[in-house]
Amino acid sequence: MPGDVAFMEKLVALCKRRGFIFPSSEIYGGINGFWDYGPLGVELKRNIKNAWWQDMVVNPPNGPDGNEIQMVGLDCSIIMNPKVWVASGHATGFSDPMVDCKACKARFRADQFRVVALTADAFSDTAAGSQTFVFSGYGARDEVLEANRKKVEKIAKAQGGDNVLEIRTFLDVRPSARAFVPCPECEQRGHLTDPRSFNLMFKTFVGAMEDASAEAWLRPETAQGIFANYKNVLDTSRVKIPFGIAQIGKAFRNEINPRNYTFRSREFEQMEIEYFCRDEDSMKWYEFWRTTRYQWYVGLGLKSEKLRLRDQTKEELAHYSRACADIEYLFPFSDEHQELEGCAHRGCFDLTQHMQHSGADLNYFEEELWAKFLAERKARGEPELTKDQKSEIAGKPPYRYLPTVIEPSAGADRATLAFLCEAYTEDQKPDAKGAMQTRVYMRFHPRLAPIKAAFLPLVNKDGMPELAEKLYRDAKKHFNAFYDDSGAIGRRYYRQDEAGTPYCVTIDGDTIGATNAQHPGTVTIRDRDTLEQVRVNHTRVIDWLREKIGV
């Protein structure tokens, strides 16, 4: 859908011009689906990732019971044992065979492409038998039958029975018979391609020999590294359920068609939490993370109605998933909301899969609960359990079990793009000559702003540059600051507006104690959004800024 193309073009131009985002390998003509962050962009994205780490790992909010949340970090390798992706389902689920119709240009997933024939021979026999393909359809088996009900009834009547039709997917059609299958869209025969595999995983080779035994994959998500290390974390960090493991890292997907600026990139960065809890508490934790994560975006400035929290419908849920909420943003390139983050209730699907495929015991044992159970028995004077009885009881819930997982999985690049879109603001104001000018400014939350403050001598004389530079160097000990002494003051303010710098500190005659100074020793601090200025003594300006910025 079109969205606001003009807005998007202006934002993309600003990002390029000011050094937020560049196309990857641009001097070689670029490469579709890959992007680089420039000097301002890297600060913005790092601030977003740091805010996430600070707010989710270092100092997360209290949980629903009011207790401190246990959260530890992790940084896993991008390439893992290929068996990981078999266990997770990505090896099969990520690879879809597609069929194209060369006549009408339609494309179909071969496993959703239903071919209906009069006889089973059509699928397995010679070309002659294939003449009995009567029609085809796209979607679930029942949908296809429903959509073609009249045809089905007519055939049933002619054949004198009910279950006369053979329905299989295109994958079951013999290569020699494919030419006789009609296209679900245009119904023409003989224009369908062979099923071609669209594998969304990036393949690589471990070691210098590129043979099949060396095949490996770049991870399509960071989550599996967490599951694979779940036991290690449990054994080394003294965490107890409920607890979370968090990770920020790159992931790779061979998107069929990267589009919409950095939104659908082939290399991207995720910020993921796997939160492990008891199954009976899981919906409570799901609700907690769902709102906590939504509020996190709001608190950092994504507060317009463009941000929304949407619960997935039953039909959208993966088969193992009990609930999932998407945090979505209405980007200017689309008139539909797009996903920034998914908060999924994954049950114990992932740990079950990895336990089965790896053979490792990933069960959690409730030591405290077990000790309590034994103590209570003793207190009641009940006879001591035998070794066999103990292992029987201790081996099952509630003492030994696979925890349930809540997964808030956020896209760092998508969040960065959303914050960029939300920040972009234009307004009209008169310039020094009274002509109306468009002012463009990036309204970043101070925590996210690439540059927190700029230090500007009003004129380059009388010691103003020297004092401005001293303040600038003091400020840099605490936060990212900028010094600029070139050009008219208005022009310098404007440059900082485009970079999204929340505060500009100007050193003027009053600061250096000029004879007619009304407020000796003070600088002016200009607010990016309101354009209002306050005077603060130059000895207090760093503290003033630190308090405002929160560093």
Partner RNA sequence: GCGGGCGUAGCUCAAUGGUAGAGUAUCAGCCUUCCAAGCUGAAUGUUGUGGGUUCGAGUCCCAUCGCCCGCUCCA
Q: Which of residues 349-368 bind RNA (CB under 7 A)?
A: none
HEC per residue, 34-69: CEEECHHHHHHHHHHHHHHHHHHHHCCCCCCCCCCC
Instruction: Answer yes or no whether residue 509 interacts with RNA by CB under 7 A.
Output: yes
Contact segment (CB under 7 A) with RNA among 158-166, 365-373, 380-388, 485-493 equals 485-493
Instruction: Answer yes or no whether residue 257 interacts with RNA by CB under 7 A.
Output: yes
Could you give the 3-state DSSP secondary structure of residue 531?
Answer: coil
Whichever of 166 and 508 has its CB closer to RNA, that residue is 508
Two structure tokens written together for 130: 């294939």
Instruction: Answer yes or no whether residue 200 interacts with RNA by CB under 7 A.
Output: yes
Instruction: Answer yes or no whether residue 531 interacts with RNA by CB under 7 A.
Output: yes
Q: Which of 238, 259, 372, 473 binds RNA (CB under 7 A)?
A: 259
Q: Which of 11, 20, 21, 33 binds RNA (CB under 7 A)?
A: 33
In angstroms, give the least distance from the CB of 521 to RNA: 13
In angstroms, give the least distance from the CB of 316 to RNA: 9
Residues touching RNA, count (CB under 7 A)? 71
In angstroms, give the least distance from the CB of 223 to RNA: 9
Instruction: Answer yes or no whether residue 390 interacts with RNA by CB under 7 A.
Output: no
- Would you say 200 and 254 are in contact if contact means Cβ atoms under 8 Å apart? yes
Contact segment (CB under 7 A) with RNA among 31-39, 119-127, 300-308, 474-482 equals 31-39
Burial (Cβ within 10 Å: 0-12, 13-18, ≥19) of residue 200: middle
What is the gyration radius of the CA atoms in the chain, in angstroms? 31
Return the number of other C-beta atoms located less than 10 Å from residue 15's C-beta.
24
Site string for RNA, 445-464 (x = CB under 7 A): -------------xxxxx--
Whichever of 414 and 526 has its CB closer to RNA, that residue is 526
Contact segment (CB under 7 A) with RNA among 2-10, 50-58, 151-159, 391-399 equals 2-10
- Report 107-146 residues binding RNA (CB under 7 A): 107-109
Q: Which of 491, 513, 534, 543 binds RNA (CB under 7 A)?
A: 491
Q: Which of 1, 208, 209, 212 binds RNA (CB under 7 A)?
A: 1
Distance (Å, rounded) from C-alpha 273 to C-alpha 408? 5
Whichever of 206 and 459 has its CB closer to RNA, that residue is 459
Strand blocks (E) in 60-177: 71-74, 95-100, 107-109, 113-117, 133-138, 166-169
Q: Which of 150, 368, 432, 477 binds RNA (CB under 7 A)?
A: 432
Could you give the 3-state DSSP secondary structure of residue 313?
Answer: coil
Instruction: Answer yes or no whether residue 486 interacts with RNA by CB under 7 A.
Output: yes
Two structure tokens written together for 351: 């740990």
Contact segment (CB under 7 A) with RNA among 69-77, 160-168, 399-407, 427-435 equals 427-435
Two structure tokens written together for 536: 């603060």
Contact segment (CB under 7 A) with RNA among 74-82, 365-373, 432-440, 538-546 equals 432-440
Site string for RNA, 320-339 (x = CB under 7 A): -------------x------
Instruction: Answer yes or no whether residue 260 interacts with RNA by CB under 7 A.
Output: yes
Two structure tokens written together for 450: 């690439």
Contact segment (CB under 7 A) with RNA among 49-57, 238-246, 468-476, 507-515 equals 507-515
Two structure tokens written together for 400: 């030994």
Q: Which of 45, 231, 253, 345 binds RNA (CB under 7 A)?
A: 253
- Would you say 191 and 183 are in contact if contact means Cβ atoms under 8 Å apart? yes
Whichever of 298 and 531 has its CB closer to RNA, that residue is 531
Instruction: Answer yes or no whether residue 317 interacts with RNA by CB under 7 A.
Output: no
In angstroms, give the least distance from the CB of 389 to RNA: 43
- Would you say 250 and 267 are in contact if contact means Cβ atoms under 8 Å apart? yes
Distance (Å, rounded) from C-alpha 458 to C-alpha 485? 8
Whichever of 100 and 287 has its CB closer to RNA, that residue is 100
Instruction: Answer yes or no whether residue 217 interacts with RNA by CB under 7 A.
Output: no
Instruction: Answer yes or no whether residue 2 interacts with RNA by CB under 7 A.
Output: yes
Q: Which of 133, 447, 506, 549 binds RNA (CB under 7 A)?
A: 506
Backbone angles phi, psi at 60, to 5 degrees: -70, 160
Instruction: Answer yes or no whether residue 429 interacts with RNA by CB under 7 A.
Output: yes
- Would you say 536 and 520 are in contact if contact means Cβ atoms under 8 Å apart? no
The string of DSSP codes covering 371-414 is HHHHHHHHHTTPPPPPHHHHHHHHTSTTTEEPPEEEEEEEEHHH
In angstroms, give the least distance from the CB of 336 to RNA: 9
Instruction: Answer yes or no whether residue 379 interacts with RNA by CB under 7 A.
Output: no
Instruction: Answer yes or no whether residue 431 interacts with RNA by CB under 7 A.
Output: yes
Whichever of 280 and 335 has its CB closer to RNA, that residue is 335
In angstroms, give the least distance from the CB of 96 to RNA: 6
- Report 161-180 residues binding RNA (CB under 7 A): none
Instruction: Answer yes or no whether residue 424 interacts with RNA by CB under 7 A.
Output: no
Instruction: Compute the half-sphere exposure of residue 184: CA atoms within 13 Å on the CB side of its CA.
Output: 24
- Would you say 94 and 200 are in contact if contact means Cβ atoms under 8 Å apart? yes
Whichever of 349 and 364 has its CB closer to RNA, that residue is 349
Distance (Å, rounded) from C-alpha 144 to C-alpha 128? 25
Axis crossing angle, helix 5-18 with helix 489-499, rounded to the nearest 10: 110
Instruction: Answer yes or no whether residue 90 interacts with RNA by CB under 7 A.
Output: yes
CA angle 190, 192, 197 (to 5 degrees): 155
- Would you say 114 and 125 are in contact if contact means Cβ atoms under 8 Å apart? no
How would you label 221-232 residue by residue, b for 16+ Cβ within 10 Å and e otherwise?
bbbbbbbbbbbe
- Would you say 136 and 181 are in contact if contact means Cβ atoms under 8 Å apart? yes
Whichever of 172 and 462 has its CB closer to RNA, that residue is 462
